[in-house]
Amino acid sequence: MEMPKPDQSVIARRRDIAAALSRIVPGEGVIVDKDALRPYESDGLTAYRTLPLIVVLPESTEQVSAVLRYCHENAVKVVPRGAGTSLSGGALPLADGIILGLGKFKRILDIDYPNRCAVVQPGVTNLGISDAVRESGFYYAPDPSSQIACTIGGNIAENSGGVHSLKYGLTTNNVLGLEIVLIDGSIVRIGGKHLDSGGYDMLGLMTGSEGLLGVITEVTVRLLRAPETASALLIGFPSNEAAGECVAGVIAAGIIPGGMEMMDRPAIAAAEAFVKAGYPLDVEALLIVELDGPQSEVEYLIGEVERIARDKGAMSLRISQNEAERQNFWAGRKAAFPAIGRISPDYYCMDGTIPRHQLPVVLRAMAELSDQYGLRVANVFHAGDGNLHPLILYDANAPGELEKAEAFGSDILKLCVKVGGVLTGEHGVGVEKRDLMGVMFTKDDLDQQQRVKCVFDPNSLLNPGKVFPELHRCAELGRVHIHRGQTRFPDIPRF
């Protein structure tokens, strides 16, 4: 069988783009070799992959500006990429677009303790910020489970959270300033070391914009003093509903823990087998509740949480006796995702947020959906702020199982919206939830959101194919066609 001949016009365009980018980023900063492009073909949403046209790895803001200016003038699509840990397909490449990788932007530029902030480049890892200031008694609060690998630039793009976001907020609550390069090469600064500024909240607009509005090249983050003391409670319950009611009871009592996480039986068993954290295996649900602050306050709140937990039917309750034991309680939760990977060939990690009081309702409904689809689900989530992370277990080598897992995930997200929640709490929309946006937003909502994008990116060159079910010409924003409830992405190749 004769193989189809490559499109010569595509080859020529690729050669021209590569030559132009090599003049901007000399040396080894431009990748065109097919094998060398492989590491960029996917991100954390690993069911889909495609090779980018080219990868460019700039080292300075000026180079980023020149690359974007060239792309703007020559209608080249651009996908910004940090560590590629996105779980919503936010950094998936385009076959006809370049990847703008920011992995070389990994310097901490300034640590300002009097103003309690640090200025860092977007390629610095989340954990790297806290490591840099730990000896001085400070830390950076948002802590995704992937914090050892995920970068602060990607955290801002997706407005990432973590186990301590209940009390200390998401990324948006901990970022003070940004340097951004727009698609035309303009370099813009918003915010800074000051706590707030007048005018429109451009900082809030950029945080969570998923690479659709600009490329971040510098970040000023808020640093917090490490609390005087912190203790964690490990509480086992006979049912998911009882654990959910305990969560609601703690918050209703006016207690805001530093973190409050929940795991169900499958997740508990997997995490314990992986980490050996000492989790009870005879319970249906496990809560980890961390309380921090002055010693006297923590001791009082431990008693209050213990009382509420007993009232809600807790089967077991342990209080960390030292820092090593507290860290051990968290070790299993932090390793829950890789732990699930040991018991299933594949898993699909979802992200949706619901009102806290709906936890028991949603958990029961998810159990029914699990029976309906014939697929197991393990639940690990930020219980305190209602941010769910169901892990749907499947085998990609079994015909039809990936499709079932996606349909199951779609139903979970629609359930979140139905009970008054939202499609995402921290993973972003990307391509994963793109075609479900019409479940949550009206046509007018989506039109208005796209008009904001058009102000920054009138030719839709920045991360196209993400967030919006259908992208329109900015001069002709008409009707938006939403594929309601679908999670198929025919425009993106599968593994």
In a domain, 2, yes or no: no
Q: What is the pLDDT of residue 474?
A: 76
Other beta carbons less than 10 A from residue 48's beta carbon? 18
Residues 424 and 322 in one domain: no
Residues 204 and 241 in one domain: no
In a domain, 460, yes or no: yes
CB 342 within 8 A of CB 287: no
Residues 46 and 176 in one domain: no
In a domain, 1, yes or no: no
Rounded average pLDDT per 10-residue block, the chain, 495 residues:
64 93 96 95 86 97 98 98 93 95 97 97 97 97 92 96 92 96 97 82 95 98 96 96 90 94 94 94 96 96 98 97 94 90 91 88 92 95 89 94 96 96 93 95 94 95 93 60 45 56
Residues 62 and 172 in one domain: no
Token pair of 328, please?
Answer: 């051990």
Residues 86 and 116 in one domain: no
Domain boundary among 289, 312, 337: 337
Q: What is the pLDDT of residue 248?
A: 87
Q: Which backbone phi and psi does 85 adopt, to 5 degrees?
A: -90, 5
The CATH number covering residue 209 comes to: 3.30.465.10
Q: What is the pLDDT of residue 315?
A: 97
In terms of Cα–Cα distance, which of 44, 293, 265, 215 is closest to 145?
Answer: 44
The CATH number covering residue 418 comes to: 3.30.70.2740
The CATH number covering residue 74 comes to: 3.30.43.10
Q: Which backbone phi and psi does 441 adopt, to 5 degrees?
A: -115, 150
Amino acid, res. 458: P
Residues 50 and 176 in one domain: no
Domain boundary among 315, 337, 359: 337
Q: What is the pLDDT of residue 168?
A: 95
Residues 137 and 221 in one domain: yes
In a domain, 429, yes or no: yes
Give this prediction's pTM. 0.90
Q: What residue numbers bound the domain in which 239 lies?
A: 229-337
Q: What is the pLDDT of residue 477?
A: 66
Residues 35 and 146 in one domain: no
Residues 371 and 485 in one domain: yes
CA distance 415 to 413: 5
Residues 474 and 357 in one domain: yes
Residues 129 and 23 in one domain: no
In a domain, 3, yes or no: no
Per the structure, the count of domains in the chain is 4
Residues 488 and 374 in one domain: yes
The CATH number covering residue 279 comes to: 3.30.70.2190
Domain boundary among 337, 366, 385: 337
